[in-house]
Amino acid sequence: MSKKPLILGIESSCDETAASLITENEQGIPVVLSNIVSSQVEIHKEFGGVVPELAARSHIEKIDWIVQKAIDDSGKKIEEIDAVASTAGPGLIVCLSVGLSFGKAFASALNIPFIAVNHLEGHALSPKLNSQLNYPYLLLLISGGHSQFLNVQSLGKYKRLGTTIDDALGEAFDKTAKLLGIEFPGGPQIEVLAKKGDPNKYNLPKPIFNKGGCNLSFAGLKTAILKITKNIKTDQEKFDLAASFQKTVEEILYKKTKIAFNDFEKQNNLKEKIFVVAGGVAANKKIRSMLINLCNEKNYKSIFPPIELCGDNAAMIAMVGLEKFKLKQFNNLDHPAKPRWPLDEKATFLKGAGVKF
């Protein structure tokens, strides 16, 4: 019986310090042996958002023992590790540099391969940690920094179908929460408050709803929330606004996903229609339910990572590392940190009026 690869994954692109060890079983299915995530919520709470310098300092203080804990919890020994996969981008460069440097040093010390991982590719492949997932598939990546539809054709081969022309959906959730007086990170609490409110109380805008293909826009929605919150006086009005915001987002994603389905089908000769949703906002249960219903309506198989793997984590980074290790796709130790690193590097940069509708 041949030894299965053992991969150490390291993630430090923003405000989570994370490490994970994964391998695979005899059937080639990934097995997560450990997945340690240390959050910095308490550090950044008073600032209402992530402070890069504080985040980087926390990574430096924690990364050694986070990696050691991941190794200890896995039941494996350091010398059994076959490769190190570290997030190299996109993200905050001062944060990326911590995990990237640690991963390079670790690989160098053990004289094992080093693999630089695109954080977005980690999200794209994260459902492989709990599902049999075949290419091609349509990916909706919705997180604090990214919102896009991607045609995932194979490992390393991605074609962007649509993206946000301004703010990411996760950012819109967090900013709305902040305006409602919810402590950072408040995005996940919007869904909780929405259960107490009337989703039809406020008629909120849906930017580029009827144009722009499956591109997205959330800046105008965020501005409308800002104006309304200036006149809110009661908790019930906050609940109603949260519910109206949640409903509006669901309506936007419903329509834009249907358009993405059509674009995806035109680009592929499909034996099976697969739709994957990943990123932090994929943990929103109402959005999950709506998209599952849409998939049932359009005969798509819907796949989501487990809730605990929707946010930033190192298991998804190790997952990409495992795939690349098997193909011997290694990187040199001088691989740079990339604060911007699109999955589809041929895609045109979209910003406001730069998008043709």
**How is 163-204 classified by DSSP, letter by letter?**
EBSS--HHHHHHHHHHHTTPPSS-HHHHHHHHTTS-TTSS--
Give CA–CA dist 282/311, Å, rounded: 9
User: Which CATH fold would you assign to the domain 7-128+309-326?
Assistant: Nucleotidyltransferase; domain 5 (3.30.420)
Residue 35 has a pLDDT of: 97
3-state SS class at 305: coil
pLDDT of 355 over the 70 cut: no
Looking at residue 103, its amino acid is: G
Q: Which two tokens stand for residue 332?
A: 């040199």
Give CA–CA dist 312/225, Å, rounded: 27
| pLDDT (tens digit per residue) in 102-158 | 999 999 999 999 999 999 999 999 988 988 888 999 999 998 888 999 999 999 999
Residue 307 has a pLDDT of: 86
Give CA–CA dist 300/273, Å, rounded: 5
Looking at residue 69, its amino acid is: K
Neighbours of 245 (CB within 10 A): 28
3-state SS class at 324: helix
| pLDDT (tens digit per residue) in 56-68 | 999 999 999 999 9
Which CATH class for the 134-304 domain?
A: alpha beta
Do 12 and 59 contact (CB within 8 A), yes or no? yes
Percent of the chain with pLDDT over 70: 96
Residue 350 has a pLDDT of: 54
Q: Report cis status (omega within 30 of 0) of the bond before 342.
A: no
Residue 345 has a pLDDT of: 83
Residue 45 has a pLDDT of: 72
Confidence of residue 308 (pLDDT cuts 50, 70, 90): confident
Do 189 and 176 contact (CB within 8 A), yes or no? no
Domain boundaries, the chain: 7-128+309-326, 134-304
Instruction: Please name which of 119, 157, 152, 158 lies closest in space to residue 138, comparing C-alpha atoms.
Output: 152
Question: Integer distance in angstroms from the first to the last C-alpha of the chain?
Answer: 57
Q: What is the pTM of this model?
A: 0.91
Name beta bridge partners: 30: 24
